[in-house]
Structure 1
Amino acid sequence: MEGILIVIGGPTAIGKTDLSIELAEWLNTEIISADSRQCYREMTVGTAKPSEEELSRIPHHFINSHSITDLFTAGDFSRAARARLAALFQHHKVVITVGGSGLYLKAFLEGIPNIPNIDPAIREELNEEFNVDGLAPLKARLATLDPEFMKEADTHNPQRIIRALEVTLGTGKPFSSFRSDKGDPLPHRIVSIGLDADRKWLYERIDRRVTRMVENGLFDEAAALYPYRNHYALKTVGYQEIFDFIDGSLTREEAIQAIQQNSRRYAKRQLTWFRKYGNMTWFHPENKDEIHRYVTQMTGLT
């Protein structure tokens, strides 16, 4: 099918947003965000969303599209983003997707298992159980119903646990039994760009970004969201550390240092994932001319 999708991946703070907007302006196209947190309206400072000025320059999709009270899974994103991509290809030869959430990108590009529709009430009930009692009871329940999944799953990820339990309860079959169905890859040409740099350069950028977030009101934003702290969306770097500060287990300075440290660790995990995922051509984010030449070569556009 016609249409070229440019994928921009890489770790937090590497410069994905700047590059995506620059390329979108050059190619006169739009951006699909594949970030698992920037879709939430209530989370702005801590997710380093594009600024209002940047959003006004280029249409972005799946920024501020959901509430933290919604459970928006990688599968939900895949289905919604694929529908949006098809609509965008009616008007654009090239579309850009950008994000550091490997699971969301993989679901978008490769598709998801063909799982029957599940009664939404099951998800609502599980989400409420998680908000009230935490993750441990859900993990214990899933370990009984689908021990095979629990051997391989990221058992610290509430979204994965809730989704697996939702499908298991809704279909009467273990979630792991659906994993052999890999879904359908996107039928479009994919041009994948990975951004990377030496660790010192990247970690300094991460530390500076955290400092800017604090200056821009991260503590106030997290405090306003404290009543929702058990929601899946807020189980993430930048918020959990401030919740610990509010609870009194960290000082303000310790919370800031913890955000910087945990952000660096997250960046390392992201890079490991993208390297294993493969199919990316890697660039330093400051090598804009080289990136432009590559995009020109791969798309035939000038």
Structure 2
Amino acid sequence: MAEKYLIVIAGPTAVGKTSLCLRLAQELRTDIISADSRQFFRELNIGTAKPTPAELAQVPHHFINTHSVAEAYSAGDFERDALALLDQLFVEKDVVLLTGGSGLYIKAVCEGLDDLPQPLPGLREELTHRLREEGLEELQAEVHRLDPDFAATAEVHNPQRVVRALEVFYTTGRPLSSFQENKKTARPFRTVLVALERERPELYGRIEQRMDAMLAEGLVEEVRGLTAYRQQHALQTVGYKEVFGYLDGDYDYHEMTRLLKQNSRRYAKRQLTWFRHQGSFRWFGADDYAGVLGYIRESTLGYFDLY
């Protein structure tokens, strides 16, 4: 039986993952699985920078517009569903692409999630109440003090993960990051891990241009229409929470725009930190298509022909 390969194309927001993956999928005659934790949701379009309908039509995509934002959908759920899909795709394909900027979701598919302890009774409820009453920044500051390694990752912007980090610490006395050294779960496929990067000024310029384009496309109107769901985790993230603050009258349009760009730059920086912390990614310039394709050929040499 031929070896099967999952090609991971990761990187920060706005680096250029979509365009490169479209070229790769066409060259390799395969499908793309999205590992973006917000592109699952049908109601979230402009603020998640989903591929356009024309891009989606070029090659088969999976896990885009598959769920409602009203549903809870975790990294564990994604691990289960993505592995089931890969079993199907690998029947006829030797290689499949997985792409996105959500490090935890990529880790879930490639390695499995950590076997973490159950929290003390009532602790989750207490921390959730604190999150609601004190706000995410207060709990983030606590995590920075108790688990600086976790605080250095992009997951510190995820309220559920922040609550989980505090749960683990107050249940075991150990930081969440100390549990992330567990043995990887064996998979029936090999992984080829690629991360894309750009010079920081160029990346930040692309982020700011993207935010301007989102606002011009109607981001504020999209967020206004999602008010009924604003307590969902996906809407407490960069690109949505800043607009809710504007709609609440906390600041004006100019300040909202500044915060959107600032927080998106900070999020990209934390994404880069996450992927570099993993240590197993091969880094390429986002425009180095030939280099990425050559590395994939090198990493899969002898198992099948790439077109």
TM-score range, shorter chain: 0.7 to 0.9
AA aligned to 1:8 is I
> Which residue in 2 is equivalent to 1:201?
202
Q: Within 5 Å, give how 1:57-68 maps onto structure 2.
A: 57-68=58-69
Counterpart in the other structure of 2:42: 41
Change in Cα spacing, 1:219 to 1:186, as seen in structure 2 (3 Å) is same
Kindly provide the amino acid, as one letter, of the partner of residue 235 in structure 2.
L
In 2, are the aligned partners of 1:32 and 1:96 still within 8 Å (CA)? yes
Counterpart amino acid of residue 71 in structure 1: A
Is the contact between residue 34 and residue 104 of structure 1 (CA under 8 Å) also seen in structure 2? yes
Q: 1:114 to 1:90 in 2, by over 3 A?
A: farther
Q: How far 1:2 sits from its partner (Å)?
A: 2.4
Match of 1:23 in 2: 24
- Describe the shift of the 1:164–1:97 C-alpha distance in structure 2 as closer, same or farther (beyond 3 A): same
1:135 maps to which of 106, 121, 131: 131
Q: CA RMSD in A?
A: 3.2
Counterparts in 2 of 1:144-159, with a 5 A limit?
151-152=146-147, 157-159=158-160
Q: Deviations over 1:252-296 (max 9, x none)?
A: 121112111111110011111111111111111112222222222
1:260 matched to 2:261? The reply is yes
Q: TM-score, normalised by structure 1?
A: 0.82
Contact 1:42 1:67 in 2 (8 A): yes
Task: Please give the alpha-carbon distance, in whole angstroms, between the structure 2 residues aligned to 1:200 and 1:245.
Answer: 27
Secondary structure of 2:191 counterpart: strand
Q: Any conservation in 2 of the 1:111–1:182 contact (CA below 8 Å)?
A: no
Q: Cα distance 1:156–1:96, how it changes in 2: closer, same or farther (>3 A)?
A: closer
In the other structure, the counterpart of 2:112 is 111
Query: In the alignment, is the contact (CA less than 8 A) between 1:138 and 1:162 conserved in 2?
Result: no
Contact kept in structure 1, 2:11 and 2:275, CA below 8 Å: yes
Name whichever of 90-99 and 61-70 sits farther off: 61-70
The Cα offsets for residues 150-194 of structure 1, whole Å up to 9 and x where unpaired, read as 944667633236768999xxxxx9798995865514232211111
State the AA in 1 paired with 2:248: D
Cα-to-partner distance string for 1:169-226 (whole Å, 9 max, x where unaligned): xxxx979899586551423221111101111110111111111111111111011112
AA at the equivalent of 1:264 = R
**What per-residue deviation string (whole Å, max 9, x for no partner) do you get for residues 210-256 of structure 1?**
11111111111011112221211111111111101001112112111
User: C-alpha displacement at 1:134, in angstroms?
Assistant: 6.9
Aligned counterparts of 2:6 and 2:41: Cα–Cα separation in 1: 24
In the aligned structure 1, how far is the partner of 2:70 from the partner of 2:31?
A: 27
Which position in structure 1 is the counterpart of 2:121? Answer: none
Q: TM-score by structure 2 length?
A: 0.80
Kept after mapping to 2: 8 A contact 1:35/1:101: yes
Letter in 1 for 2:217: N
Q: Output the CA distance in 2 between the equivalents of 1:138 and 1:50.
A: 36
CA contact (8 A) 2:157 2:237 kept: no
SS in 1 for 2:262: helix
Given that 1:46 and 1:218 are in contact with CA atoms closer than 8 Å, whether structure 2 keeps it comes out as yes
The residue that corresponds to 1:2 in the other structure is 3
- Aligned equivalents of 1:221 and 1:134: distance in 2? 29
SS of the counterpart of 2:225? helix
User: Counterpart amino acid of 2:37?
Assistant: S
The residue type paired with residue 48 of structure 1 is A
Q: Number of matched residues? A: 281
Structure 2 unaligned blocks of 5 or more:
118-123
Unaligned stretches of 5+ in structure 1? 117-124, 168-172
Tell me, what secondary structure is at the counterpart of 2:46?
coil
Q: Which residue of 1 aligns with 2:276?
A: 275
Counterparts of 2:54 and 2:291, CA distance in 1:
26
Conservation of the 8 A alpha-carbon contact between 1:7 and 1:193: yes
Q: Name the CA distance, whole Å, in 2 between partners of 1:247 and 1:163.
A: 28
